[in-house]
Structure 1
């Protein structure tokens, strides 16, 4: 097969052009540090690089979200710690208020102190983050969640009912803020005690004790029990005896019906009275018509679980003179009721704080996993698109030397012809 001079020259020029193009591509890779200049360089690798870049961007956003979530949870935890400290101070004050040696002036002073604690709680309930959002406002972070009621008793909640959430991974979102209504106007279903109280209109000296629960799983404990005092006459005339007695009725929360569970029964001061699987003791001398109540911690009424209502009622009770046995009994009953409600709120705050701590730990663990994945993704992407400089430079020099040798050889071959040989 004959190869013409023009074919030979064309072939050599094309080869040198290809080598020059290869050198230009190598130079671009070395100067940019990227092995993939265009998708044509490595179509499969380019597709993988796009996928890895997208994954890296998502992981970077999740990292940002995790930091934001952790900051929010840490602030909530810190605020709840302050709330528990205030609640402990309030509990100590309630115990102190029950000291029988205190006079009216002493109790008024305690009421003033209690008002200060209430104001502190209100400030904590309206805590804002660094962006000015209220951390206990639910979905409505820009709205102040709590404000005092016009009546002067309790507070109203204006925040949203839900929890703000942040996505911290492909498959996980996490709550970063609890609504204030679930903290300051609610109680824990598992850590709350039934509430015993005496009617403010009672005229006797009867006082009720905190409730003792013998079987927390008894459905009957969901009813609200009313203990009503009266008198019962026993015996046959002319020999009769009139004694103080009590009867118990139960209000079913499901049906709304009231039934008598204990008929008129002679009253013994200090004796236990059974209501469902619960017992209370009433001491002193209740007057006919006096009533006492034993109710679940959460009856469905916000006023029964609102800590601000509880504190306002207690402040009012402490400010009332307790110069008679009836007034002293009213104060003692108010302290018993408030003590239970405050304890229930305190336990609810602790339950919430425990949940916040658990979510913080989950975010921290997710941060670690995300960092590991991000590092691996970056490494994989680098392996795909980054240039191995020592190898690339070595390959560049080899190609350059090859091109120079081809050029020199081609220059010598160009001089070779039969005419040159005959005339040489």
Structure 2
């Protein structure tokens, strides 16, 4: 087959143009540092790069969410530690107030100290995180969680919502606990039943703490009333399950003896009067508002009792009830704090995983799109040498003409 001179020239020019274009592209990769500048360069690689970029963006957002969640949880953890310390101080004061050697002035002073602790507790309950969001107001994060009305009652102004943050594609973490769950509830476990005396009692009977002898007894969930009748040697009591309406048989009263109700017992000391009543309730039915419980203890301590056995018994009953309620609140807050600590550890673990995945994604994306300078420069040199060789060969071929030999 014959190849004309024009065809030959065209073929060589096209080949050198193609080499020049390849050399230009390689130079662009070196100068820009990017090996993938358009989908046409590597369609499959471009699709992979889009996927990796999307993954990197998602991981970046998750990292931001994790930091925000951890900040909120750490703020709540710190606040709950202070709350626990305050409740422990209140418990110590309540125990001290039961000292029979104190006078009315001493108890009034203790009431003033409890008032200060209650006010501190309200301040902690209204704590905010680093962004100014209320820690314990549920979804109402811009509102103050607790307010105090004209009567001195502390009122919850938030809701029962729990804010969560998406920290991975399959994990959402609660970044706070609402005030209802922390300060106005008791836990489902480790919550002791509450014994209390009627404020209208006229005797000197004092009810102690409830002892649970059979935790599996379903009747423990009921409310019981102990009603006294008679006097002196005929003093007796009747236990009534007020939940079911079933009354037990009347029993003779002996101070300090166990009174059984369901799977639990309680002791009453002193000498109750006829028609005096005492109540035993499950923890979740016996007043779970820590602020109201503290207010009740404060009010009881402010009443003079010196020289009045009935008033002294009323005070001791109020203190015993308040201390049991404080114990339940303390257990509840401790449980909440343990949950917060667990969530902190979860977020920290996810941060490590996210950081590892981010580094791997960035490395894969870099391998796909970034120029490998060593190999690309080497390739550039090879392509440049090939182009120069083609140019020199073309020049030599141009000189291979019969007319040149004739002229010579």
With the shorter chain as reference, the TM-score category is over 0.9
Task: State the SS of the aligned residue for 2:283.
Answer: coil
Q: Deviations over 1:84-107 (max 9, x none)?
A: 100110110011000000000000
Gap runs ≥5 in structure 2? none
1:235 counterpart residue number = none
Counterparts of residues 19-418 of structure 1 (less than 5 Å): 19-153=19-153, 155-231=154-230, 243-252=234-243, 257-260=244-247, 262-299=248-285, 304-323=287-306, 324-418=308-402
Gap runs ≥5 in structure 1? 233-240
- Contact 2:71–2:130 under 8 Å retained in 1: no
Task: State the SS of the aligned residue for 1:37.
Answer: coil
CA distance in 1, matches of 2:208, 2:159: 37
Q: Deviations over 1:46-100 (max 9, x none)?
A: 1111111111111111111111111111111000000010011011001100000
CA distance in 2, matches of 1:159, 1:395: 67
Q: Deviations over 1:88-130 (max 9, x none)?
A: 1011001100000000000000000000000000000000112
RMSD between superposed Cα atoms in Å:
1.3
CA distance in 1, matches of 2:398, 2:271: 131
Q: Deviations over 1:315-361 (max 9, x none)?
A: 00000001200000000000100000000000000000000111111
Q: Which moved more, 1:407-416 or 1:139-148?
A: 407-416
CA distance in 1, matches of 2:391, 2:256: 117
Q: Deviations over 1:186-220 (max 9, x none)?
A: 00110110000111111111100100110112110
Give the superposition deviation at 1:182. 0.2
Q: Deviations over 1:367-401 (max 9, x none)?
A: 11111111111111111111110111111111112
CA distance in 2, matches of 1:152, 1:391: 78
TM-score with structure 1 setting the length: 0.94
Shift >3 Å, 4+ stretches: none
TM-score with structure 2 setting the length: 0.97
1:238 counterpart residue number = none
Indicate the structure with greater strand content. 1
Give the superposition deviation at 1:242. 6.2
Q: Deviations over 1:103-159 (max 9, x none)?
A: 000000000000000000000000011221101111110111111244334x22121
CA distance in 2, matches of 1:64, 1:242: 74
CA distance in 1, matches of 2:58, 2:30: 29
Task: State the SS of the aligned residue for 1:40.
Answer: coil
CA distance in 2, matches of 1:4, 1:218: 109
